[in-house]
Amino acid sequence: MRYPLAASMLALALLAGCSSTPMTSDQGASVEDRTASSAGAIPTVRPDQMQGAGLAALRDPNNILSKRAIMFDYDSFTIRGEFMPLVEAHGRFLAANPQMKMLIQGSADERGSREYNLALGQKRSDAVKKSLMLLGAKEAQIESVSLGEEKPQCTERNEACYAENRRGEMLYAGEF
């Protein structure tokens, strides 16, 4: 029972962070600038050593942010309703953590040309990228690429497997 509670509290925290940011953005930015210049300290960004509470959330199996895969219908590049909460959570997370970088790997099922499937996978990763940007993620934070049919999650030949392989996978720096 405590897991759903923790998850919803974190979601609330994220929502709060997200909604309050635009209103106080000017003041917040100036304070940060002063601190940085007066101290003279330049922070070291280590993309492969993720830190902070938000980063733990990425690994917490009970947090929606630990889920990364979005499945697509055949010949489709539309994010289905069931995956919108997941995309929203990552979009807000990226917006709230501008130092975070993401690689989205799109995939296609194995039927047909490898190169054409690479292009289809790209359309899927691009669709995820666009949705994340609508939620406040910055273009510079996200690279959308395609694995085509080359890295299937499921290797059987049936519709369930093909559906599993038509996907977009969201990976943060250090995870790929």
Q: Compute the 3-state secondary structure of the chain and give helix, strand, coil in percent, each to the nearest 5.
A: 55, 10, 35
> Which of 69/96 has CB closer to another protein?
69
3-class secondary-structure state, position 28? helix
Task: Evaluate whether 111 touches 162 at the Cβ level (below 8 Å).
Answer: yes
What tokens does 133 get?
């940007």
73 touches another protein by CB under 8 A:
no
Q: Mark the segment that binds another protein (CB under 8 A) among 34-42, 46-54, 83-91, 145-153.
A: 145-153
CB of 170 to another protein, least distance (A): 13
Residue of 144, 164, 165, 170 interacting with another protein (CB under 8 A) = 144
Q: Mark the segment that binds another protein (CB under 8 A) among 14-22, 26-34, 94-102, 121-129.
A: 121-129
Residue of 15, 29, 119, 134 interacting with another protein (CB under 8 A) = 119
Task: Evaluate whether 71 touches 80 at the Cβ level (below 8 Å).
Answer: yes
Task: Evaluate whether 87 touches 66 at the Cβ level (below 8 Å).
Answer: no
Residue of 54, 91, 148, 168 interacting with another protein (CB under 8 A) = 148
151 touches another protein by CB under 8 A:
yes
What own/partner pairs with CB < 8 Å and gap ≥ 24 does 122-129 have? 122/146, 123/77, 124/70, 124/72, 124/77, 124/166, 124/167, 124/168, 125/168, 126/77, 127/77, 127/78, 127/79, 127/168, 128/70, 128/79, 128/87, 128/104, 128/168, 128/170, 129/104
Site string for another protein, 15-54 (x = CB under 8 A): ----------------------------------------
Residue of 122, 131, 141, 165 interacting with another protein (CB under 8 A) = 122
Interface residues with another protein (CB under 8 A) are: 103, 105, 111-116, 118-123, 126, 143-148, 150-151, 176
